[in-house]
Structure 1
Amino acid sequence: MRHTTMAGTIPAWFSRRSPAAARLLAVGLLGLATPGCLVRQELYDQARAEIGREREEGNKARAEAQSARAEAAQRSAQVAALEAELGRLEDDLRARDLTLSEATTAEAGLVRRLDELAAMNEELSARLRSAGQSVGQLANERGSLSAELAEVRAKVDELRRQQAAAEARAAKMRDLASRFQAMVDGGKVRVEIRGGLPLLEISSDALFDAGKAEVKPAGRKTLAEIAGVLRTIPDHRFQVAGHTDDKKLSKNARFASNWDVSAARAVAVVEVLIGRGIPPQRLSAAGYGEFAPVVSNAAEAGRAKNRRIEIVLLAEQEAEAAGKTGKALGEAGPVAAP
């Protein structure tokens, strides 16, 4: 298809690609084909302005496409990391199953040995009684074997306890990941296991403006989604932990230190969750400042990752233990809010 002007025709592909450029070309050709006539300047300027807008829109569309591809790659990386973590947990469970099996076999062997010694003891005791000798030495040997058997049994019990705890953590991790799958896929949260506890990780930059502790409107929407899922998780308490990077605050900053910023942000998140129906008695807040980083603060990407809010899931017994010790996660003690 071609568009016809007084100066000739314009290829159809050109007009479809840029209608404004086609009009500008038509205006130029009209001026060339009409001797003694001048094209109106305002038509020419209008066509050029439209071309500029179309060019900007094209650049913007390309930039949005590149950003979407980068976000998709990041989500794929997060899913891969989660699958790798689950794989590691399954490997741990298999290793502990093997250790438990070996310990059970050792226990059975000791029981057989103890029974054999008991029979031997009975036979020797009869001989010693007839000979008027003492059976004290055999009694000591039996006592030693009994103590050894008790130690092995204690180790077996401990391995069973560890296996049960690992299985519970793996099941909790899988359950948490499935409940928040939509938000994970959307890049809003990350599901992690840290310090043996499952948690949600949200970027502080998505919730707060720099140097502030008031939750942004977009952040409130994210927290509302999170609260909707947390309400479906019974028999758990949730500790909201604030973390910062190691960048020092300016002299005119509202807060005195990164401790204060992290604690204030944790309290702000708790208040939003309470407003979204989470009972206050199931929530606590803690600030760790810059003292529990997950990566190095040497580069901006690392600092951005360390600026985070974590919502740690604590079973009732874990929550009671955390309350007695005053902390749940982190090598440095947090600034806690009641």
Structure 2
Amino acid sequence: MREEMDAGLEPTVPVWAVFGDLMAGMLGAFVLILVCVLGMQFELATKLEAEVKQRQVEAQRRMALEQALAGPLATGRVTLSNGRIGINGSVLFAFNSAELQPEGRQLLRSLTAPLAAYLQARDEILMVSGFTDDRQVRGGNRQFADNWELSAQRALTVTRTLIEEGMPSASLFAAAFGSEQAVASNADADGRARNRRVEIAPTPRRSDGSLKSRE
């Protein structure tokens, strides 16, 4: 009789076995989450390390450039901001002119040797950029069609002068920005004077000789 009753009942799964399966599933999920978290932390740590190294490299570049230009910077005729050497346009050129003034040539001559040594040591190239204020070229001097042409010619004048003073021609190029990228308001004379400028910026060069983007 007992055997007949037992034969009619389905076997019952022990509670400890169900609990063990549940714990195993939870442990697997926890391990998976932990692996994902550790992976994200590693990726963030790698990005942070790369950013720190990049900032250190940029700081070293700025320090090296400051040391190379210690003399010209001390005179106050040039500025250095974020690795860009700024020269007030009035030091280099008369108003609406692209003809280099004697003071401007003397200043560029003082910059040539330290910049050439800096470029050679770091395998970089110079970008010489011309800028104007927002007032259009007017008056009797119609040598230039607009501010783009004026800024381009000024950048070329500085580039050619640096080459004449001994800078290798393969170590620099000219760029024109017209009245774009102003550093001050064009609402007053002081701001317009600051915007009429030439900037010289060392730029990393790729191994293939082309320019490397500084993103």
Please say whether Structure 1 and Structure 2 have the same fold, judged by a TM-score greater than 0.5: yes
Tell me the equivalent position of 2:154: 265
Taking the aligned partners of 2:66 and 2:74, their CA distance within structure 1 comes to: 10
5 Å-filtered alignment, 1:94-243, equals 135-193=24-82, 198-233=83-118, 234=121, 235-243=123-131
Which one-letter code corresponds to 2:104 in the other structure? G
When normalised by structure 2's length, the TM-score is 0.80
1:321 partnered with 2:212: yes
The Cα of 1:202 is off from its aligned counterpart by 0.6
The Cα of 1:185 is off from its aligned counterpart by 1.8
> Taking CA–CA contacts closer than 8 Å with sequence separation of 6 or more, which of the two structures ends up with the larger relative contact order?
2
Taking the aligned partners of 1:146 and 1:216, their CA distance within structure 2 comes to: 67
RMSD over aligned Cα atoms:
2.6
Gaps of 5+ in 2: 1-15
Tell me the equivalent position of 2:135: 247
**Aligned in 2, Cα 1:204/1:133: closer, same or farther, shift over 3 Å?**
closer
**Identity of matched residues, %:** 28
Taking the aligned partners of 1:132 and 1:164, their CA distance within structure 2 comes to: 48
The Cα of 1:141 is off from its aligned counterpart by 2.8
When normalised by structure 1's length, the TM-score is 0.52
The Cα of 1:276 is off from its aligned counterpart by 2.1
Is the helix fraction higher in 1 or 2? 1
Taking the aligned partners of 2:143 and 2:197, their CA distance within structure 1 comes to: 19
The answer (yes or no) to whether the contact 2:129–2:174 under 8 Å persists in 1 is yes
The answer (yes or no) to whether the contact 1:244–1:289 under 8 Å persists in 2 is yes
- Equivalent residue in structure 2 for 1:299, among 159, 164, 188: 188
The higher radius of gyration belongs to 1
Give the number of aligned pairs. 194
Which one-letter code corresponds to 1:240 in the other structure? V
The Cα of 1:237 is off from its aligned counterpart by 0.9
The Cα of 1:321 is off from its aligned counterpart by 3.0
Taking the aligned partners of 2:17 and 2:132, their CA distance within structure 1 comes to: 76
